[in-house]
């Protein structure tokens, strides 16, 4: 294709497939449009009806591209990849010239990305710290050495210079095997694990056909990453004589740090997190067993019930052991109180 882009009015583009065109529409369009738009973004634009073929909308990202097909796509203006500082309040637990420790609230995305270019923790940090953040993490992730999911609350540490970034990154990569880093979470899960404490050793990888979800994999799978979670049941709610329970408060310590690790592992053993619509949607009917007032509190809990309550690490400059704990946030306190009734 000598000139794949023919500009239409505004930000519309017309792309015609030549004899080398093949594969899925979303993949082909992504290759033609260029690096400003990820495949997931192009897929979303297709589903939104912003791609047409001979005047008819094409909404199936998996449609096969054929020679001679001429697609018209309407593209939004690409976002500026450089995050800007935004005056977003931060709950700062500790700060010095090398690092800043914060308590992240629910709903706050850690760094800019597809669908979340503004309003992130990085935007808040740039406003608060100015130009002092470490650049090793890249333009969109300055200072970021670890992450929490958007709707997970709790303690996070951010590097303010490159020396701190390297040292903290080594500790997170070590996962506490030879260095003092330790992370602990509190979660409310459906049911009661048969064993009140245990270890979940189950490799994780991307779920088939979904790049955002994670799934337990066979150890010999090509994309399997080792994942180990240690858990302990702290409290049982609505416990029955047969040792089952409606829900439990568990404490989890990570030996590895995979995406969605606790959420996937607890679901894997049959006890997904309350409020987790990705890995525990099938358990929402359990709330129907509760009295109406309590059922409403549980059903209105709008996120996975997961809180990173403890973080420990070695200070990258002084070598001091830094230990931080934050109590359960108000929404989880309310949830636990309701389940206790």
pLDDT in tens, 224-279: 899 999 999 999 998 989 989 999 999 999 999 899 999 999 999 999 999 999 99
Q: Are 64 and 54 in contact (CB under 8 A)?
A: no
**DSSP collapsed to 3 states, 181-226:** CEEEEEEEEECCCCCCEEEEECCEEEECCEEEEEEECCCCCCCCEC
- In whole angstroms, give the CA distance from residue 14 to residue 3: 10
Per-residue pLDDT of the chain (341 residues; tens, 9 = 90+): 333 333 333 378 888 988 888 888 988 898 888 666 777 778 888 988 889 998 889 999 889 999 999 999 988 765 556 788 999 999 999 999 999 999 999 999 998 876 677 899 999 999 999 878 888 777 778 899 999 999 999 999 999 999 999 999 999 988 888 899 999 999 999 999 999 999 999 999 988 777 678 999 998 888 889 999 999 999 999 898 998 999 999 999 999 989 999 999 999 999 999 999 999 988 878 888 788 888 899 889 989 999 999 999 999 999 999 999 999 999 999 999 999 98
- Domains in the chain and their CATH numbers? 11-75 (3.10.290.10), 79-174 (3.30.2350.10), 180-340 (3.30.2350.10)
pTM for the predicted model, two decimal places = 0.76
Residue 149 designated active-site: yes
- The DSSP output letter for 32 is H
Q: Among residues 98, 149, 276, 331, which one is catalytic?
A: 149
Q: Which residues share a beta bridge with 12? A: 74
Collapse the DSSP code of 69 into the 3-class scheme (helix H, G, I; strand E, B; otherwise coil) and give the result.
coil
- How many Cβ atoms sit within 10 Å of the Cβ of residue 66? 10
Task: Indicate left, alpha or beta for 117 from its phi (over 0: left) and psi (-120 to 50: alpha).
Answer: alpha
């Amino acid at each position: 294709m000598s000139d794949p882009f023919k500009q239409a009015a505004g930000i519309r583009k017309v792309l015609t497939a030549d004899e080398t065109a093949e594969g899925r529409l979303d993949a082909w369009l992504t290759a033609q449009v260029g690096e400003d738009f990820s495949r997931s973004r192009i897929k979303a634009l297709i589903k939104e009806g912003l791609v047409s073929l001979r005047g008819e909308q094409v909404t199936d990202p998996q449609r096969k591209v054929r020679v001679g097909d001429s697609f018209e796509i309407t593209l939004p203006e690409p976002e500026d990849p450089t995050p800007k500082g935004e005056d977003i309040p931060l709950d700062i637990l500790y700060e010095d010239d090398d690092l800043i420790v914060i308590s992240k609230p629910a709903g706050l995305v850690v760094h800019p990305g597809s669908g979340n270019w503004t309003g992130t923790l990085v935007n808040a940090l740039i406003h608060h710290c100015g130009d002092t953040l470490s650049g090793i993490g890249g333009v969109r992730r300055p200072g970021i050495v670890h992450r929490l999911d958007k709707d997970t609350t709790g303690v996070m540490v951010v590097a303010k210079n490159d020396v701190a970034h390297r040292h903290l990154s080594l500790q997170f990569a070590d996962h506490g095997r030879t260095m003092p880093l330790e992370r602990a979470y509190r979660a409310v899960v459906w049911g009661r694990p048969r064993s009140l404490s245990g270890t979940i050793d189950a490799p994780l990888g991307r779920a088939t056909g979904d790049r955002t979800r994670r799934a337990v994999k066979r150890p010999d799978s090509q994309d399997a990453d080792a994942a180990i979670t240690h858990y302990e049941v702290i409290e049982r709610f609505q416990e029955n004589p047969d040792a089952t329970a409606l829900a439990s408060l568990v404490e989890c310590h990570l030996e590895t740090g995979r995406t969605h690790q606790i959420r996937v592992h607890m679901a894997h053993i049959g006890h997904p997190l309350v409020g987790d619509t990705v890995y525990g949607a099938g358990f929402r009917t359990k709330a129907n067993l509760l009295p109406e007032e309590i059922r409403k509190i549980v059903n209105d809990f709008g996120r996975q019930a997961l809180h990173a309550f403890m973080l420990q690490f070695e200070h990258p400059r002084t070598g001091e052991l830094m230990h931080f704990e934050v109590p359960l946030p108000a929404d989880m306190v309310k949830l636990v109180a309701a389940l206790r009734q």
